Structure formats: C-alpha cells, structure tokens
Structure 1
C-alpha cells in the first residue's frame, strides 16, 4: 500500500515522500480502515522533524486522524455478536499513528460514525480536535454555561473547535488571532470578542472583558505568565500546545492569589481504554451538536495525497484558517 515516509531528517516539508509498504496487521478487537482522507496536524510536523516520536507499539507512519471505509473487522470474542459496525461502514477515528497511508488498523472502540450530512473529507477533520477540545475544555477545564473562555490561535483547528464548543455549552468566548484578516472569520464561528495580537497585547482587553474562567492555550512560552494574569479567581489554565516553547517563567504568587489551576494533557500517550472512554463521551456529547449544525467542520484546504509536502508547508506557514486534510 502507499504510505508517507520521511527522508533526510524531515527538517523541511520537501523531505516527505510516498513509498510502498505492507498493509498493517489487524489484531483482535481492531478494524482495518481503507483510508480516503487523513487530517494533517501540528504533531505530524513535530514527528516529521524527529521531535514527537510515536509511542511504543504505534505505527512509525505519521497521521493521527482518518476517515474512510471499514474493510475488515476482527472481533474480540468477549464482545459477543453485536459490535455495532459492519464492513462497508463509513467511519472516522483518532489513531495512534499510521494515518498517512492507504490502510490503517484501529481499535474498534475508537471509531466514530461520519456525522450525517458531512463528507469524508470533513469527517477527517474532526476526531483530533473534537477529542482534544472536549477532554481539555470540558473535562480538564470544567467550562460551564455562563463562564468566559479565552482561546488563543482561534483560527487553528483546535482554536476554531474551542470557539464553537464554548458557544454550544453557553459560555462567552474571547479569542485571539494573529492578523486582522482573521477577525471576521473567527467572529463568524461565534466568538464574542476577537483580539488581533499582531496589533497589541491581549492582556488589557481580556481584563476589560472581566477576565477568563478557562483559558485553552496552544502557545505556551511567554503566554503562560500572561494567561495567569487574565484568569479570574479560581480560573483554570489548560495547556494543549507549545508553539512558543515548553518552558515558562511565572510568578507563583499570582497562582496562589487567584487559587488558579494549571493543567493540560496530550491524547497520544493515553491508554486505549481511556481513549475508548473519551471517544464514547464525544460521540454522545459532541456528535449531536455537529449533526444539529451548532458545530461545523472547518476545512481550510484539501491536498492530494501526493502533495503531502505541500500540505505540511501550508500548515507550517500559519496561513490556514481551519483544518488541513489529505485526500487519498
């Protein structure tokens, strides 16, 4: 089958190429998906550069989310006969690796149906952002109706999902973007306040809006100290990315004064059982919002599989608003 490989160290997007490899084995309790589309995400770029190695036992091929068609099912006898899926079903899924390939083996508990009315390309843009944002905004951040959430990089996949899910649960959404051309796009998603950080710092504006109960941050670095200043008493700062680096200097006194909570998480290192639990939560709580139109997929661009290098370069440039998807 065709799959993406990395040559010459992966320092640039031009180091990606298409090769032929064997189909993955489908173990007990897994399904084989014929991939039609794969989401392109920041962790893929980090893995290409050798900065985000796959966990033990995971495919070395990049790609953390896919959409496609079930080709084979290998059931686990303990489940009985009713497994809820059949060969030929259209599905999408968060995977532990291997998404940039014609076929991928997936734990059957991690499957999600393609939401009604959506294309497979749109479905491929949903698993990573849906699970990441639900886990961090709702579970770790505890966002509730009537609270205020601040989200950075609101034009990104994670950011745009945070805006929409925040509004769907009844929160006030304050968003930051870099570049005035993105303000209207983020407002159209439902953000109440959009701040252009290219024109100035966000702290004064957020404070003028009353501060944030929850902050979802993909930036880190010097943003961490700034975020703490923006928190309301008992506010929660949830870290899900490190675009500006994984270290920060903060005034611990501010955390103590505000009784603030600093937390965060990654999806990839979680156990299969934890991912199964989270997938079930997302299917029950987020999928109905997607099918009702309260949350919609935001696909910036779909690239042919052979242009995977161009897809990485586009994402790496920061010129996108929404998700980048590969079409096989």
Structure 2
C-alpha cells in the first residue's frame, strides 16, 4: 500500500512516500480503506522529532482517518464491510489502509462528506475528553480557548456554545477572531496585542474563566492561573510554549483551582473507547443534523502531503487541513 513516513526529523521535506505491507486486522479490529486523513499538530511534532509514537503504535504518522470498512477482524461486531467510517488512531493514518480497534471507529453520517469526515475524530475526541469529561464544563460556565481558530478551537467553540457555556478565545489576528465569532464565540482576544489574562478578567467582570483549554504550556501557565475563576480548571493539552514553568501554589490554592495535564494519543484502548462513545452520544448527532460543522480550511492530494505540512507550519490556516487519496 502507499504510505508516508518521516525520513529523520525536520521540516516537510522529510515526508517520504513509500510502499508498506497492508495491515491485517486483529481480533476486535477493523481494516479501513482510507479516503482521507486529518493533519494535526501531533503529526508536526512527531515530524520534528519531539513527539514519538507510543509503544506499539505504527511509526507511520496520522491520528485520524475517514474511509470505508475493507475487512473485519475476528469477533468484530457493530460494523460492516463497505460502511463509511471515521477513526481515531495512535498512528498509521498517512496510508491507504489502517487497522484499528472497533471501539475507536464511528459511522459517518450520510449528510457528511466522507473526505471532510477525516477532520472530525481527533478534534472531537480531544474537546469532549478535556472540556466535558475532564473539566466538567457546564451550562453557564465561561471557557477560555487558546488557539480558537485552529482545528481543536473551531470544534471546541461549537460544542461549548451548544452546551450553554460562554466562549472566549485567543487568536493571532482579527481575521481569525472573526472566524471564531462566526462559530459561536462570545468574544475574541488578540494575544499579540492584549494581555489575555487581564482581558479575560474584564470580560467576566473580574471573575475569570471557569475552564481554560491550553495548547501552549509553560509560557502561558502564570497568566492562565491569573485568568482562572475560583474553583476553575486549567487543562493543558499542548506544549508549544515549553514544558517547564514555575507555579505559584498560593494563588492556585486561594482560588481552589486545578491544573490538569492530558494527552489523547497514548491512552489505553478502554479509555479511548469511552471517549469515542461520548463523542458518538454528544457530538455525532449534531454533525449529522448540521448543527455542528466541520471547519475545513484546505484539502490537499496525497501526493502533496508535504505542501500540507508547509501550509500548517505557516500558521495561516483556520480550522482543519485534510489530505485525501
């Protein structure tokens, strides 16, 4: 089968098209003929050599795909050959075929384009697991989303707003803020021009955000804690701004606040299955009826996957980047 691997660590030039053996689905697994895959920051971090795949995962990058069921492993139930599906992966998505546990696969609604569905699973699972299962976001809460115009941010805005939360976002330009407002954000903060912690306090009459979803890490730890409300939760899911920072525990304790760090890729299969089940219950019906939209920026052909990475690296995109066969 056709696949892409990274020849060393570096820029988009390390992407190399190769021939690999087709995977064989094991017990409880499904083999998917891939129509398209989503490009995620984890793919880029792996390409740069700072985010290796977890033990046992494929060295082929790619955390989400859409396609059709090609074959079922022994004992696999609930899916059928030829069915349109999307899947969450620990790796292996940059290939024509991938084998994955059935618990990480969802049926793609007929109302949704199969190629675009490649941009659903990773962001939906990230948002549902962190905002709702981890942080307990509830109606009436205020949530601050960093990187609101990206794939995760675009999904988080819609799901949080639909749950009755007030959504604040940070972004790098007025154009990206406009994108976020169109998706349902109540207000946007240009982090290049404003102190986002101070502005969050202003927008909440001094109370702060009940939940903060952060992809930056160390650089934002102190201002994030300042921006938190009493009894608030900061969930860190990315380290774009570094991994080490000082934390004033006195401020954290005075706010009775909580800092949680999570990853999705290396979770055990049973945890991933629980998250996918929650996505199926809460997000998939919204996708099917059109109340949740997939924010797709560009679609690149498989032969231009390196160009897709270049575009991602440029930081110009809003929403998801898709690579299709």
TM-score norm. by structure 2 comes to 0.97
Gaps of 5+ in 2: none
Q: Which residue of 1 aligns with 2:156?
A: 162
Q: Deviations over 1:272-304 (max 9, x none)?
A: 111111111110111112223232100111111
Q: Which residue of 1 aligns with 2:233?
A: 236
Kindly tell me the number of residue pairs found equivalent between the two proteins: 322
Q: Distance in 2 between matches of 1:218 and 1:115?
A: 30
Q: Distance in 2 between matches of 1:203 and 1:273?
A: 37
CA drift at 1:10: 2.7
Gaps of 5+ in 1: none
From 208, 215, 218, the counterpart of 1:218: 215
CA drift at 1:249: 1.9
Q: Which residue of 1 aligns with 2:52?
A: 53
Q: Does 2:305 correspond to 1:308?
A: yes
Q: Which SS does the other structure have where 1:167 is aligned?
A: helix
Q: Does 2:57 correspond to 1:26?
A: no
Q: Is the 8 A contact 1:222 1:249 kept in 2?
A: no
Q: Is the 8 A contact 1:10 1:16 kept in 2?
A: no
Q: Distance in 2 between matches of 1:23 and 1:204?
A: 53
From 171, 175, 181, the counterpart of 2:169: 175
Q: Distance in 2 between matches of 1:235 and 1:109?
A: 32
Q: Deviations over 1:170-200 (max 9, x none)?
A: 0000111011221211100000011111222
Q: Which SS does the other structure have where 1:238 is aligned?
A: strand
Q: Distance in 2 between matches of 1:292 and 1:175?
A: 26
CA drift at 1:246: 1.2
From 104, 119, 123, the counterpart of 1:110: 104
Q: Which SS does the other structure have where 1:310 is aligned?
A: helix
CA drift at 1:16: 0.7
Q: Distance in 1 between matches of 2:196 and 2:266?
A: 32
Q: Is the 8 A contact 2:111 2:289 kept in 1?
A: no
RMSD of aligned residue pairs (Cα, Å): 1.1
Q: Which residue of 2 aligns with 1:142?
A: 136
Q: Which SS does the other structure have where 2:100 is aligned?
A: strand
Q: Which SS does the other structure have where 1:296 is aligned?
A: coil
Q: Which residue of 1 aligns with 2:247?
A: 250
Q: Which residue of 2 aligns with 1:298?
A: 295
Q: Distance in 2 between matches of 1:277 and 1:202?
A: 34
Q: Which residue of 1 aligns with 2:78?
A: 84
Q: Does 2:122 correspond to 1:123?
A: no
Q: Which SS does the other structure have where 1:273 is aligned?
A: helix
Q: Does 2:19 correspond to 1:5?
A: no
Q: Does 2:183 correspond to 1:189?
A: yes
Q: Which residue of 1 aligns with 2:264?
A: 267
- Equivalent positions of 1:39-50 (< 5 A) are 39-50=38-49
